[in-house]
Each structure stands twice: as C-alpha cells, then as structure tokens.
C-alpha cells in the first residue's frame, strides 16, 4: 500500500474539504519540457489552479517517498535529473529510495486516489502507440484512468499516438470521455484529431455529475479540452514532423518509455520552438478548467455524489 506524504497546504486543504487539483511532475521535468519552459509550465499551471480557487498538489517521488504537494523549496528537484515513474514504478522508486522520480499520469492518478483527490490536470495523456498491434505498447495511463476514481483533464493525446485505438481502448475499459465544449477529440497541439468524442459537456457541474453517476466506483473520467485557438499549431506540418520522428525512433531502436521524450524533442526543433508556447498554453488552460471542476465537485462527497443535509 502507498501512503503518500502530503504537504502542509494540501493536507489542510483536504481536511477542510477544499478543492484540490493534482498535477504530474513528468511534464515539469526535462523529460516533458526543456528548461526553462518546464519551470514556466509549473508556475503557470499552479497559478491557474489557484486563480480558479483550488489548491495545486504536484505529485513526485522524493528520496524514496511518495509525495502529494511539494513545498516551494522542493520544486527545484523537478528540474534536475529525473527518472520517469509510471504507476508500476512507484513501488520500485519507493523500495529503492530514488532521489527524484517524475510521476507520469498513471502514477499521479494512483497517488491522487490514495489521498482522496478527485481531479487531476495534465497536458496530454499517454495512449495506444501506433504499431501497438506489433509492439504491444499501450500507455499505463489508460489502465490507470480505468482504475482510479479521478477526473483527468487533458488536451487529448499526442498525434504520434494511435488516437482512434486510444479512444477504442477507453471505451473497452469503461472510461467516459467528455469533450469540453467541443465535439472532437483534440490532438494536443491541434484542436481536432478528426475523431469525435462520445459526449460533449458545457460545464464543470456536468463533469461533477458524471463522476457521481458512474456505475463503477473506481473508474475515472476523461475530460478532453482543445488547445486554445490562438496557441494551436498547423496540423499538416506537424503530421510530417511526427512521421519523421517516429521513423527515426524505429531506426535508432528507441522504444517504450523513451519514445515520448524523444518525439517531443524533435517536434520542438521542427516547429522552431513554437511547440513550447503551445504546450504551455494548453497545460495552463487545462489546469484552470481542472480547478473549476474541482470546485464543482466540492460540496459533493468528493466523488461527485451530492451530499444531502
């Protein structure tokens, strides 16, 4: 069993029933974004959560301890040497006392669940990789979405994944996918993947109501928020870059968990760095909406069901 340590602020917020939004640390490490964009992302996401009226809770492994909520003096650790920690790696990172483990979506959902936080914000989730029928590479994020009762707010998944299969997988494992004021599943840097979301929502209250009405108490909800219009990138150019980067991966024998950081680096170069402001804008926007949803869930039993006096 994992019993994460809470920061003082997060501990008080949870005890008082205040709105809390969990954040992963991989996106803020150099595995997710190059310096100094990673530090800017952390600052903007935590500020967006606070502006919405909620408390941000960054998850990480620090000195072998699972943590939810970091103190200001600890956030620098995120920017140093990071090892990626998916949900299954939590046990290893704790048992071996890793100095710093950067949590992915799956690890963050596990930690949020363990402490009763029901909203989580990120940039993009992992998904079914292209060619998964050969490699079997399906992100642990999808299984975690199905097994932790947390609302995940994301800008969809990266276009270098197989987005159609990703949506199929989420259907199979019973995760409701909600388009935030949008009919299409977004593709991270672009507002549409060309695939429809099964359902559309207009308000945070609707998301809270969906969370409260699930038949499986341990299943999460995915809210897909398109990148703000002004920050979106050109889809055609991006497709060509992705193709090239994936071929490079295959040629260089880059597989598994190393694919995402590699492809992200290639996209940054090929878009002359324009992928970075796009990434920051969508992560900040997601954090703000997650804050709104956390507020809407406040006043319920924390899992969306109304509390009647």
Which residue numbers are catalytic? Answer: 24, 158
Instruction: Give the helix/strand (H/E) hosting 110.
Output: helix 105-115
Q: CB of residue 126 vs Mn ion: minimum separation in angstroms?
A: 7
Strand-pair partners of 85: 103
Q: Residues 2, 73: contact at Cβ < 8 Å?
A: no
Binding footprint of Mn ion on the chain (CB under 5 A): 137
Q: Which is nearer to Mn ion, 135 or 247 (CB)?
A: 135
- Alpha-carbon distance of 129 to 280, in angstroms, equals 23
Q: What are phi and psi of 57, to 5 degrees?
A: -135, 95
Name the β-bridge partners of 156. Answer: 187
By rule CB under 6 A, what count of residues binds ligand PSU? 17
76 to 105, contacts with ligand PSU by CB under 6 A?
86, 104-105
Q: Closest separation between CB of residue 27 and ligand PSU, Å?
A: 5
β-strands 177-180, 221-224 pairing: parallel
Q: Which of 67, 130, 147, 158 binds ligand PSU (CB under 6 A)?
A: 158
User: Which residue number, 129 or 304, has a Cβ lying nearer to ligand PSU?
Assistant: 129
Q: DSSP assignment of 169-231, as one string? A: HHHHTT--EEEES-SB--BTTBS--S-B-SEEE--HHHHHHHHHT-SSTT--EEEE-PPPGGG
Question: Which residues 6+ apart lie within 8 Å of 280 measured at CB?
Answer: 33, 37, 40, 41, 44
The listed partner (Mn ion, ligand PSU, none) that binds 110, CB under 5 to 8 Å by sort, is none
Q: Which of 140, 145, 287, 297 binds ligand PSU (CB under 6 A)?
A: 140
Does 275 bind ligand PSU (CB under 6 A)? Our answer is no
First to last CA, the chain: 34
Q: Which residues contact 17 (CB under 8 A, 6 or more apart)?
A: 298, 302
Candidate list 4, 69, 124, 179; residue touching ligand PSU; CB under 6 A: 124
* Length of the chain, in residues: 309
Q: Shortest gap between Cβ of 26 and ligand PSU (angstroms)?
A: 3
* Backbone phi, psi, residue 294, to 5°: -60, -40
Instruction: Sketch the per residue contact string, 222 through 261, with ligand PSU: x for CB under 6 A, - otherwise.
Output: -----------------------------------x--x-
Query: C-beta of 90: minimal distance to Mn ion in Å?
Result: 16
Q: In terms of CB distance, is 4 or 124 closer to ligand PSU? A: 124
Minimal distance, residue 199 CB to Mn ion, in Å: 27
Question: Can residue 162 be called a binding residue for ligand PSU (CB under 6 A)?
Answer: no
Q: Which residues bind ligand PSU (CB under 6 A)?
A: 24, 26-27, 32, 86, 104-105, 123-124, 126, 139-141, 158, 257, 260, 264
């Amino acid at each position: 069993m994992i019993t994460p340590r809470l920061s003082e602020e997060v501990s008080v917020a949870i005890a008082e029933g205040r709105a809390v939004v969990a954040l992963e640390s991989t996106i803020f490490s150099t595995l997710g974004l190059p310096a100094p964009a990673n530090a800017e992302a952390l600052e903007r996401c935590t500020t967006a959560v606070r502006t919405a009226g909620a408390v941000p809770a960054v998850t990480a492994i620090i000195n072998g301890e699972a943590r939810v909520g970091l103190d200001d003096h600890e956030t620098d650790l995120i920017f140093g040497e990071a090892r990626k920690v998916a949900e299954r790696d939590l046990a290893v990172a704790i048992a071996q006392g890793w100095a710093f483990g950067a949590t992915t979506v799956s690890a963050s959902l596990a930690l949020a669940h363990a402490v009763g936080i029901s909203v989580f914000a990120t940039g993009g989730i992992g998904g079914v990789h292209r060619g998964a029928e050969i490699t079997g590479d399906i992100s642990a994020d999808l299984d975690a979405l199905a097994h932790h009762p947390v609302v995940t707010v994301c800008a969809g998944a990266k276009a270098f994944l197989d987005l159609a299969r990703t949506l199929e997988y989420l259907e199979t494992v019973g995760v409701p996918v909600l388009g935030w004021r949008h009919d299409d599943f977004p593709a991270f840097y672009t507002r549409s993947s060309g695939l429809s979301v099964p359902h559309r929502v207009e308000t945070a209250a609707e998301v809270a109501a969906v969370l409260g009405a699930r038949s499986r108490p341990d299943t999460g909800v995915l809210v897909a928020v398109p990148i703000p219009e002004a920050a979106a990138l050109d889809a055609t150019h991006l497709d060509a870059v992705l193709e090239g980067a994936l071929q490079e991966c295959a040629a260089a024998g880059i597989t598994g968990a190393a694919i995402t950081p590699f492809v992200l680096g290639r996209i940054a170069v090929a878009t002359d760095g324009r992928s970075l402001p796009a990434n920051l804008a969508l992560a900040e926007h997601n954090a703000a909406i997650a804050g709104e949803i956390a507020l809407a869930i406040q006043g319920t039993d924390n899992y969306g069901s109304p509390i009647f006096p």
